Amino acid sequence: MLERQNTDLSIRVRHPRYTGSTLGAIPIALSMIAISCGFFGSILLNMHSPGNVAVLILLACFLSLLLFLFVRSAIEEQTGEQFVRVEAGVVRWGWQTKWWTRERTVRLDEVDDVRPRIHWDGFGTVDLFTRRYRFKILERVLAEDAMRFAAELKRVAIADR
């Protein structure tokens, strides 16, 4: 959904609900975790040195962080929506779900370019370029929508200066 009022712009993209790649990967990830827990549990029962236990705990914390990031991404993709807002000299974008919102901002005067990037699978990404960074502000949108959103964002962020 794209709304424009004067120099303000609002884009919201809700992904279709499907049990595709991300949700299909959750049982695989859970089975990998169960196997890892069994493996690490058997190692932990045979350890006698506190240093070895500490290394194993650090490895378990790292794997837990990876699992958290994967599950968060899956929930955002399945239940959340992406948003981009241009208002009051700021570009604000992120993901919003029922439980949390992740948001990033960049001032309009820092924006150098906005470009769509079309992938082989018919989906696209909208990239926002500043002098130092490239930000992916919309991900996994249809290619036509990516081109339309990028053109509108470019018009608002760059041409209206």
Kindly state whether residues 70 and 85 are assigned to the same domain: no
Q: State which residues form the domain around 133.
A: 2-15+80-159
Predicted local confidence at residue 19, as pLDDT: 47
pLDDT in tens, 38-62: 776 676 667 677 777 777 788 778 8
pLDDT in tens, 18-34: 545 555 666 766 777 77
Q: What is the dihedral of CA 63, 66, 67, 73, to 10 degrees?
A: 180
Give, as one character, the DSSP assignment of residue 156. Answer: I
Predicted local confidence at residue 133, as pLDDT: 92
Neighbours of 158 (CB within 10 A): 13
Kindly state whether residues 71 and 87 are assigned to the same domain: no
Predicted local confidence at residue 38, as pLDDT: 72
Alpha carbon distance 116, 96 (integer Å): 22
Kindly state the tokens that stand for 56.
């194993």
Kindly state whether residues 61 and 111 are assigned to the same domain: no
Coil, helix or strand for 19? coil
**pLDDT < 70 positions in the chain:** 1-7, 15-26, 28-29, 40-41, 43-45, 47, 159-161
Using an 8 Å Cβ cutoff, are 81 and 96 in contact?
Answer: yes
Predicted local confidence at residue 25, as pLDDT: 64
Alpha carbon distance 40, 32 (integer Å): 12
